[in-house]
A = this chain, B = another copy of it.
């Protein structure tokens, strides 16, 4: 029984080389798209690959080469998983779509209780060529820490501190600016906002947009209550706003999930929506369409966000110079019944 251990089936690079009538080295050059290969050799190799159905061994490439052929997607979801869920799935879809067809593996990491040090050690330990970090909280040190070790990193969502890794984010500022302008165009006179927490860039950017929109028209910007991306806190915030300004006629809520709570409070107090009070949310999550009444909201394209992050990282890994440091993705207003 000289069977040997069971190995992966399929041809090796050596086989391809023989069939193509060239050396292993040349096949390797073709696979990796290097220059200094004659057109004749290149064609021959491609034919041989197709003929044999060859697919390179990922482990061997990684072991022999100086790169890991893998990137990590790190989800830093400290708390607030409610916000994270649909967002997260969209990002993932985008990342995956952008990776399709390339020989790059996607490693998924989520913040486990014990991690921290270990996570950084793993990521900078050569297991991956780069990392996509999605952190909701602006003060998360991970993107910066990783970036400072020299690992190519793209952050999803603007880091509050700034100056660290390049980031890709939805244009939260202009999104909410547009929402406020829309409310003003509806002749609303007293426009409040339920803002996100102060420690999240997404919250602050949306708040800034609201402020600018009102300031443009010389309207006061004092009707702000901060909240924390849960329906309950959205409801509480709405109650406080109504107490402070019983005559408000519009609310811009920085997330659909909070808007749902706000809607409930408004209805409980007998306000008609949108006749008495217009409500605009943000995200265009599944909640917006199912809310009663259906929510007018600012759509951000989360899948596109994932794609763009991935594109940016791969471009950097590919040695692309002069890449944009950071990028903002456009948002759009989706009009439904609440405003």
Contacts and interface: CB of A to CB of B under 8 A. Distances in A.
B112 A100 contact: yes
Interface stretch (A1-9, A25-33, A171-179, A218-226): A1-9
Interface stretch (A80-88, A236-244, A308-316): A80-88
A263 B110 CA distance: 36
Residue with the highest number of chain B CB atoms closer than 10 Å, among A86, A89, A114: A89
Query: How many identical subunits does the complex contain?
Result: 2
Interface in A40-82: 53, 55, 57-60, 62-63, 66, 68, 82
A99 to B, nearest CB: 9
Interface stretch (A119-127, A158-166, A182-190, A319-327): A119-127
B108 A7 contact: no
Nearest to A93: B110
Residue with the highest number of chain B CB atoms closer than 10 Å, among A6, A57, A90, A263: A57
Contacts of A86: 85-86, 89
A107 interface: yes
Contact of A112 (B53, B63, B97, B261): B97
Nearest to A92: B108
A294 to B, nearest CB: 9
A96 interface: yes
A89 to B, nearest CB: 5
A290 B63 contact: no
A224 to B, nearest CB: 23
A106 B126 CA distance: 17
A286 B66 contact: no
Given A85-B89, A88-B89, A63 B59 contact: yes
Contacts of A55: 121-122, 125
Nearest to A260: B290
A145 interface: no
Given A63-B63, A92-B108, A125 B257 contact: no
Interface string A248-264: 00000000010011011
A53 B125 CA distance: 11
B126 A9 contact: yes
Contacts of A63: 57, 59-60, 63
A291 B89 CA distance: 22
A80 to B, nearest CB: 12
Contacts of A82: 286
Contact of A126 (B5, B10, B286): B10
Interface in A95-152: 96-97, 100, 105-110, 112, 114, 121-122, 125-127
A157 interface: no
Given A63-B60, A267-B292, A286-B82, A108 B108 contact: yes
Contacts of A264: 292
A257 B93 CA distance: 21
22 contacts: A6-B66, A7-B66, A7-B126, A8-B125, A8-B126, A9-B125, A55-B125, A58-B127, A59-B62, A82-B286, A84-B89, A92-B92, A96-B110, A97-B112, A105-B107, A106-B107, A231-B290, A257-B290, A287-B287, A287-B290, A290-B291, A292-B292
